[in-house]
Structure 1
Amino acid sequence: MIIKMDFEADHPIYRQLVDAIKEGIATRQLEPNEALPSVRSFAADLGINMHTVNKAYQILKNDGFLLIHRQKGVVINPQLPGADQAFLDKCQNDLKTLVTEAVCREMDEAAFMKMCQSLFHDLKEKRGNKR
């Protein structure tokens, strides 16, 4: 999986890395039990600080996407978290922020819904093609 960092973006580097790894898992570019590079190696490959990679890994571990073993290193969790109530609450909160901005910018509801559906279907399609 190729990960590209946008060093000029407003989005922090660690967040870009978290999002890229989650997308890799969603599209099955990263499979359950697959090993990820060590913090040092990944940082060198991406040209970023080791602490940035470590922060991203810790967030993904806390969210249930990664397992960190002293001997095996960092691997994709074979038992990924489900859509529990905590996730649904987070999802609703994140969507509320996006919907609020869309309303402020007078975006058409149908266009917003079409965009959401398109993104969802694109990821599901990529996921299906990896099996």
Structure 2
Amino acid sequence: MFIKMDMAADKPIYIQLKEQIIEGIARKELQPGDDLPSVRSLAADIGINVHTVNKVYQQLKQEGYIQIHRKRGVIIHPDGFLPADENYINSLKEELRPLLAASICHNLTIDEFKELSDEIYLQILNKEGEQHE
């Protein structure tokens, strides 16, 4: 698994790590049942605090992406993921709302927003590493 942290970014490290693991799952680079590095190992590999990795793993566990076993370690949830339910859809709406509001403030049209959304969605599915501009 390739994790790339931008220590100078405005986005907190734990959010970057969490988003990269979720994207790895979406890209199918991480499959159900795959092992993830231990908290200490991942922290050492990417040069961040163990508490940061632990926080990310706990959040991913709560959200159903991973399981944490005492003997087996950290694994991608072996049963896969449930389809989007009403709770997930409502949560997604809450997260998208400020992004859409900011886009409107920057005069982005609904069609331009949809085009960006489609482009990113396809990039993830096609396992493209970089966004095209």
Deviant stretches of 4+, over 3 Å: none
Shift of 1:21: 0.3
Structure with greater proportional helix content:
1
| Equivalences, count | 127
Residue matched to 2:73: 73
In structure 1, distance between residues paired with 2:82 and 2:25: 12
CA contact (8 A) 1:38 1:74 kept: yes
Shift of 1:67: 0.2
Tell which deviates more after alignment, 89-98 or 46-55. 89-98
Q: Percent identity?
A: 43
In structure 1, distance between residues paired with 2:56 and 2:83: 20
Letter in 2 for 1:103: I
Aligned residues: CA RMSD: 1.3
RCO (CA 8 Å, sep 6+): is it higher in 1 or 2?
1
- Ranges in structure 1 where 5+ consecutive residues have no aligned partner: none
Q: TM-score, normalised by structure 2?
A: 0.91
Superposition pairs of residues 90-129 of structure 1, within 5 angstroms: 90-126=91-127
Q: TM-score, normalised by structure 1?
A: 0.92
- Ranges in structure 2 where 5+ consecutive residues have no aligned partner: 129-133
Residue matched to 2:17: 17
